Structure 1
Amino acid sequence: MARRLFGFLALVAVVMAMVAWLAPDALAAGGDLHHQAEEIGKELGGLWVVPFACMLLSIAICPLAVPHFWHHHFGKVAAFWGLAFLVPFTIQFGASLALYEVVHTLVLEYIPFIILLFALFTISGGVCLTGSLVGKPVVNVIILAIGTVLASWMGTTGAAMLLIRPLLRANAHRKYRVHTVVFFIFLVANIGGSLTPLGDPPLFLGFLKGVDFFWTTVHMFLPMAFLAVILLSLYFVVDTMLFAKEGKPVPPNAGNEKLRLEGSFNLVLLLGVIGGVLMSGMWKPHVEFSVYHVHVELPNLTRDVLLLLLAYVSLKTTSTATRQKNEFDWFPIVEVAKLFAGIFVSMIPAIAILRAGADGALSGIIALVTDANGEPVNAMYFWLTGALSSFLDNAPTYLVFFNTAGGDAQYLMHHVETLLAISAGAVFMGANTYIGNAPNFMVRSIAESGGVKMPSFFGYMAWSVGILIPCFILVTLLFI
């Protein structure tokens, strides 16, 4: 399966290269494609979002209604909803613009996204913590707290991929495990990544726009710490009650075996991933390549190649026995790769409409962030950025509201509440759904591969609405 995934990535790269080589400039005769793409959101109505909504409903309903069919054909379902948008769009707006939109989404968004996930999944899968790590409430809280701290410095995806398997192994003897994975998604895969631009893609975009590296560390610390303390405390109470209900079980192989880290070289490779991501944002050689009118900058291409090389090194240097102890399986990354290909393509009109701002179909929503006197309504910035980030890619959502607020980093850094509202909404509320942030769905898939029957799409939202929304209301009242 690893070869198939490498082959899939290679095939996408070859197709993009062929498009760049064979697509004649005559296809762009109708005007500058980039300008057309920027303006298309003004012409799209709400019906264009239906395929994306159906894609989300498929993820929510099919695993429960038709589990056997879904397990074997989820990739085809994702492709169908992608085409349900693409075919009508091609008919109405032409092949050249449709091709440009797909190439733009694949080259600048989907491929970097899946390469980063693939590298982190592969490398973290080679790190195995062995020994007497027993999933008692105190141990679980410590793991969640460590992951929450690490998430801001190695990214939510990196921290989640590194710690989810040790956490699952520590609790393998427990009857109740779903709540542990859910709180892991809340804290490690989302809220913990709010203190630096390394933590989450929206904050990295802000950094590229001129927000100081440690601005989020200073201004997001109290809201993040507030949420972390509440959630860790709540988790400890819930886990303690369930642990007692289970009869305080101890695994049969529990002993005094010392904790030991196998595959520790992969930690060096993880640092290489972090360095590669940081390099792509700070290195500015002003060299770029064109793939069917889509400009690919050299730092981004270098980063993606570096990440694939690091993943390859991990596969070659990590013993099969270590990965077997980790119960390493390729299915989670394959599932994410196929489903998110459909999500990214079917999401194109939703992002375009959002970018159109006051001129798009969501103009009424955009208008809510400014009052009659032209002053920002920071609470609405927080909730609208968060609500849209729960279902759309939180990075472009952050950018839309960043620009709506003026787009001047120096100005916004001195108007703390507005930038804080946008940043907190994009990062915190990614925890509201499985697709709100990159590692959420991956953690769910790894947990299910490890035998944990996770909630459905809407079942997970029942957890997030019941637990997180009251917390976010408190954040609004205290900090926004």
Structure 2
Amino acid sequence: MRQAGGVGVAGAAALLGMAGPAAAAEAGPAMTSLAWGLPFAGLLLSIALLPLLAPKLWHPHFGKIAGVWTALFLVPFAAVFGLGAAADEFAHVMLAEYLPFIALLLALFTTGGGVLLRGHLVGTPGVNTTILGVGTLLASVMGTTGASMLLIRPMLRANAGRRHRMHSFVFFIFLVSNIGGVLTPLGDPPLYLGFLQGVSFFWPTQNLLGEFLFCAVLLLGIYFVIDSLAYAREKKAEVEAGAEAAEHAEHAEAPPGERLAISGWVNVALLGGVLAVVLMQGLWQPGQVALAGQAVGVERLVAMGLLLAITFASIALTPRALRHENDFSWDAMQEVAKLFAGIFLTMAPVLAMLKAGAAGPMASLVALTSDAAGQPVPWVYFWLTGALSSFLDNAPTYLVFFNLAGGDAARLMAEGAPVLAAISAGAVFMGANSYIGNAPNFMVKAIVEAQGVRMPSFFGYVGWALVFLVPTFALATLLFFV
């Protein structure tokens, strides 16, 4: 449980420093064969099936299992193309993708988990819908991770007395952990990567507001109807008593019925520091340095250092009692860190196949993005980016399609705006389609299950997405991307 990288990742770390540009070029052809995607498929199936079929194996050893699948990619890769090529691939994924991703996620998780919302909340349809609505709006300000960490525990307390409550946490993931993050680069990692590529900070706000409002309002309306029907089958006295008991258990010093209040304001300030770090990377780019054979922007290294400093500041400045009251635990963050290390590494060949474009094994998919006249088709970009973001992790998938569309931020923000909007919305919205589409999805699932609330299985959750999200996105396609 404490080997954060998994055995494959830890073993590959020993290869660092042995690779160079020649090795990277030599490794390229290997990443265009479908066979190299099998470890990713195996990891994906393990995440989907083992919690159901072998929970006693999965829960204590998921990091090791992810490490085994990672080794099944890296070891054959090293055997065929050499240790240098494998080390270069490992270093590239870690430095360019995983570490910046996990540093931002860690800072948002820690600071968001240090803000405590006190007060009496009872899980009625009106209260639940309000929590989801507020969280959806906050997600673009404090990130989907920060908003999820701030509101998931109040949502759990409010619904502690409910018998029918699984749907509330499914829609929480839909809205707070995903769709709400589409309006700024701070909201969701794909837009953060776009910002680093030159997309202006407020471009998503100006160009995706309509799509955001349509999907958010429609899903909130659907949720209110579902929750109202479920609430009608509840015993109202039990709902009230359960909420009061949960509130008293976590805030024993607070009298029942206390008005809503926020504790942990230092973490609100630190969340502002996270925002400043994100902005800094777009405004200050002093150059690159060589690290483990990779060219890394100085601003990214500084940003990772600052984000770690914010994380440690949050830990030091937040009273332990407050985190205890907030039922804060590192378990969800550890699960995400371990599994996503394996996901980022094993999906590298799949992304390379996409990057290969017409020359790669996914040429038929790439060809769909343009019409007969060679013009890009926004709705195809929306669905391809979204479908792959559902399972490949939405941040690097966004970057693949961003580059496939030309990779020129200035042009994409102007005449390419429909395509950039489609890529952005597809990556952010459809990260909600599975538990691995976006890191906060897994975090919320882990926190909810730790409180004894049953969540859908991997495929069960995908079923919820097929019923509620896919029709919503189909309507959004007709309104905005055709």
TM-score w.r.t. the length of structure 1 is 0.91
Distance 1:475 1:88 in 2: 43
The equivalent residue for 2:456 is 455
Superposed CA offset, 1:373-395 (max 9, x none): 11222221111111111111322
Change (3 A) 1:170 1:208: same
CA distance in 1 between counterparts of 2:373 and 2:196 reads 30
Structure 2 distance, partners of 1:242, 1:99, is 53
Per the alignment, do residues 110 and 405 of structure 1 end up closer, same or farther by CA in structure 2, a change over 3 Å counting? Answer: closer
Question: Contact between 1:119 and 1:310, CA under 8 Å: does it hold in 2?
Answer: yes
- Partner residue, 1:260: 261
Match of 1:358 in 2: 358
Counterparts of 1:142 and 1:130, CA distance in 2: 16
What's 1:397 paired with?
397
Cα distance, 1:162 vs structure 2:
1.9
Runs of 5+ unmatched residues, structure 2: 246-255
CA distance in 2, matches of 1:188, 1:56: 24
2:178–2:438 Cα contact (<8 Å) kept: yes
Match of 2:78 in 1: 90
Match of 1:104 among 92, 97, 103: 92
* 1: CA distance, partners of 2:361 / 2:41: 16
* Residue equivalent to 1:446: 447
- Kindly, what percent of the aligned residue pairs are identical? 54
How far off is 1:214 after superposition?
Answer: 2.5
Shift of 1:428: 0.9
Task: Indicate if the aligned counterparts of 2:111 and 2:146 stay in contact, CA closer than 8 A.
Answer: no
Alignment correspondent of 1:223: 211
Q: 1:348 corresponds to which residue?
A: 348
Q: 1:410 and 1:292, CA in 2 relative to 1: closer, same or farther beyond 3 A?
A: closer
Amino acid corresponding to residue 369 of structure 2 in structure 1: V
Pair 145,360 (structure 1): closer, same or farther in 2 beyond 3 Å = same
Using the TM superposition, name which of 146-155 and 399-408 deviates more.
399-408
| Whole-angstrom CA distance in 2 between matches of 1:208 and 1:297 | 10
1:435 aligns with 2:436: yes
Q: In 2, are the aligned partners of 1:34 and 1:293 still within 8 Å (CA)?
A: no
Match of 1:378 in 2: 378
Q: Is 1:115 the counterpart of 2:116 in the alignment?
A: no
The question of whether the paired residues in 2 share the 8 Å contact of 1:19 and 1:292 is answered with no
TM alignment of 1:40-439, pairs within 5 A: 40=29, 44-248=32-236, 249-251=239-241, 253=244, 255-286=256-287, 288-412=288-412, 413-439=414-440
Which range is displaced more, 116-125 or 88-97?
116-125
Q: Is this contact kept in 2: 1:135–1:167, CA < 8 A?
A: yes
Deviation at 1:312, TM superposition (A): 1.5
What is the CA deviation profile of residues 262-302 of structure 1, one whole-angstrom value per residue up to 9, with x for unaligned ones?
2221111111122222212321121x332221122221112
Alpha-carbon shift at residue 34 of structure 1 (Å): 4.1
SS of 2:240 mapped into structure 1:
coil
Superposed displacement of residue 8, structure 1: 7.7
Aligned equivalents of 2:205, 2:441: Cα separation in 1:
23
Tell me, what secondary structure is at the counterpart of 2:368?
Answer: helix
Distance 1:321 1:207, change over 3 A: closer
Paired amino acid for 2:378: N
Give 3-state SS (helix, strand or coil) of 1:296's partner.
Answer: strand
Q: Is the 8 A contact 2:111 2:271 kept in 1?
A: yes
Work out the CA distance in 1 between the residues paired with 2:403 and 2:93. 20
Output the amino acid matched with 1:360.
G
SS where residue 470 of structure 2 aligns? Answer: helix
Mapped partners of 1:360, 1:267: distance in 2:
46
Cα deviation 1:295-314 (Å, max 9, x = unaligned): 22221112212222222122
Q: Is 2:163–2:234's contact at 8 Å kept on the other side of the alignment?
A: yes
- The answer (yes or no) to whether the contact 1:40–1:352 under 8 Å persists in 2 is no
Three-state SS of the structure 2 residue aligned to 1:85 is helix
CA RMSD across the alignment: 2.3
Gaps of 5+ in 1: none
Q: Deviations over 1:327-358 (max 9, x none)?
A: 11221111112111221221121111111111
Deviation at 1:406, TM superposition (A): 2.6
Cα separation, partners in 2 of 1:401 and 1:471, compared to 1, 3 Å: same
Q: TM-score if structure 2 supplies the norm length?
A: 0.91
Secondary structure at the counterpart of residue 392 of structure 2: coil
Q: CA 1:317/1:411 → structure 2, altered by over 3 Å: closer, same or farther?
A: closer
1:124: Cα distance to partner?
1.9
Q: CA deviation at 1:468?
A: 0.5
**C-alpha distance in structure 1 between counterparts of 2:90 and 2:174, whole Å:** 32
Q: Which residue matches 1:33?
A: 23
Inter-partner Cα distance in structure 1 for 2:306 and 2:320: 23
Hey, what's the Cα distance between the residues in 2 that align with 1:303 and 1:77?
Answer: 31
